[in-house]
Structure 1
Amino acid sequence: MATLAAIIGRILIAALFILAGLDKVLDTGATAEYIQSATNLPGSLALPTGVFEIAAGLLLASGIGTRLASGALIVFTALATILFHSRITDPVQAQMALKNLAVMGGLLMVFAYGQVRGNLGTWRERDRAHDAEVEAARAEGRAEAATPVVTPAVTPTAPPAATRPSD
């Protein structure tokens, strides 16, 4: 279950970047205007930024290079927060900054635990191995329960008699 949750979570976080990247690539003019108006950066960064978001998001979603992709996206999201959402006195900007912090938290979880591939065969193999271990443990428990445990009777022994030193 944890494996499935990790894969779905990783895909959902990746979808955020893939869709944002597609938006930037499909409408580079509006993105370039926004970049120039919000920061001192050139608008020509719109297309490379969109391509980066799509590529990193696809890597993240596929499970290939998840640590590299999540690390790069953490840095990217931190920079975007500082450059575009630093006016936290504005409620909308504060909300966007908090959203980005949450995304960075999710990306940190992917960085730490997201090396799980989305392969159904791998899940089945793990489930079979787990089931075999559980069955072996149960069989061992039944075997131990069926065999009476014999404990040797302990009889107290008298302490050895004191011996006299020879003259």
Structure 2
Amino acid sequence: MNNVEKTFPALPMIGRLMMAAIFLVSGFAKAAAPQMTIGYIASVGLPFPALGLAIAVAVEIIGGLLLALGYKTRITTLVLAIFSVVTGVVFHNVIGDQNQFIHLMKNIAMTGGLIQVMAFGAGAFSIDSYRNSGRVIPIG
């Protein structure tokens, strides 16, 4: 644990929650309007757009929840980082279009934040920290 985390132990949790928010909002939005996302996936020429939708929704919602909770954080952030780079490159590759370029850079920036969490862990307020502390949940 570094000095900043000792002084402000909630900062890693706040960062995780802020990063998780974009995945959760995006995943639930895709689940609520599946045809729009299926059409977008098909428009870039990917096969099996319904399967792509299912994978995206699962990665974003499950990954977002796991990140928010700080559970299996390093593997979760690895999956979300790969997902962010792949989706940025596949769906936001027209860098001459300022909007698409900004979306690509957003994905790259998110990946940078995820790599930070992967490198330094979930922090004190996380399921990972609780599990690693040796504490047990009292029953009864």
TM-score, structure 1 length as denominator?
Answer: 0.67
* SS of residue in 2 equivalent to 1:74: helix
- Of 51, 57, 63, 1:50 maps to 57
- Of 57, 68, 73, 1:66 maps to 73
Question: Which position in structure 1 is the counterpart of 2:35?
Answer: 29
Question: Which position in structure 2 is the counterpart of 1:11?
Answer: 17
Identity %: 32
In structure 2, how many angstroms separate the alpha carbons of the residues matched to 1:86 and 1:66?
28
In structure 2, how many angstroms separate the alpha carbons of the residues matched to 1:32 and 1:96?
19
Residues 1-167 of structure 1 aligned to structure 2 (within 5 Å): 1-44=7-50, 45-118=52-125
Q: CA deviation at 1:100?
A: 0.9
* SS of residue in 2 equivalent to 1:46: helix
In structure 2, how many angstroms separate the alpha carbons of the residues matched to 1:23 and 1:5?
27
Unmatched 5+ stretches in structure 2: 1-6, 130-140
Question: Which position in structure 2 is the counterpart of 1:158?
Answer: none
* SS of residue in 2 equivalent to 1:3: coil
Task: Determine which structure has more spread, i.e. the larger CA radius of gyration.
Answer: 1
Q: CA deviation at 1:51?
A: 1.8
Q: CA deviation at 1:117?
A: 4.2
Q: CA deviation at 1:13?
A: 0.2
In structure 1, how many angstroms separate the alpha carbons of the residues matched to 2:34 and 2:124?
33
Task: Please list the CA deviations of residues 147-166 of structure 1 after superposition, one character each: whole Å capped at 9, or x if unmatched.
Answer: xxxxxxxxxxxxxxxxxxxx
Unmatched 5+ stretches in structure 1: 123-167
Task: Please list the CA deviations of residues 3-35 of structure 1 after superposition, one character each: whole Å capped at 9, or x if unmatched.
Answer: 211110011101110110001111111110011
